[in-house]
Amino acid sequence: MMYVSTRGEAAGRGFAAILLEGLAPDGGLYVPERYPQVDAAMLAAWRRLSYPDLAFAVMSRFVDDIAPSDLKALVQRSYRAEVFGGDPRIAPLRPLEPGAFVLGLSNGPTLAFKDVAMQFLGHAFEHELARRGRRLCVVGATSEVDA
């Protein structure tokens, strides 16, 4: 899987290469060069998976330069009930009314939707930095809401 810049000036690169970069050198965002196809049978099979197994099934279609066993371990470490409020569903779907549901994305350590992505990214950063024998300091910020 290759990723290209939305501004069209950066050459295609693999996931591990762009992981630590942030923006592309031309200031664009990296997007997949092509999107994997998902058919009805695959969707039906995915419906029975746990959150970590589903995350691995989806991510493995976009990340082909991290060994599958390593990617699976990263996903399993990222999406654990202990990290997401004790709920093994990680992002539970709750009914509001017939035909309407809310996806719970605030069960992570900071109680914000970004936890769903950042749990994986933190582990992926550590993996790729260790593979390269490098270190990195990441500073992040979030907004605060007054109640």
Catalytically annotated residues: 114
Distance CA 147, CA 142 (A): 16
Task: Give the residue ranges of DSSP H helices in 6-146.
Answer: 15-19, 40-46, 51-59, 68-78, 114-132
| Complete DSSP assignment for 22-47 | -S-TTSPPEEESSPPP--HHHHHHHT
Query: Residue holding tokens 């664009």?
Result: 28
Residue 64 token pair: 């082909």
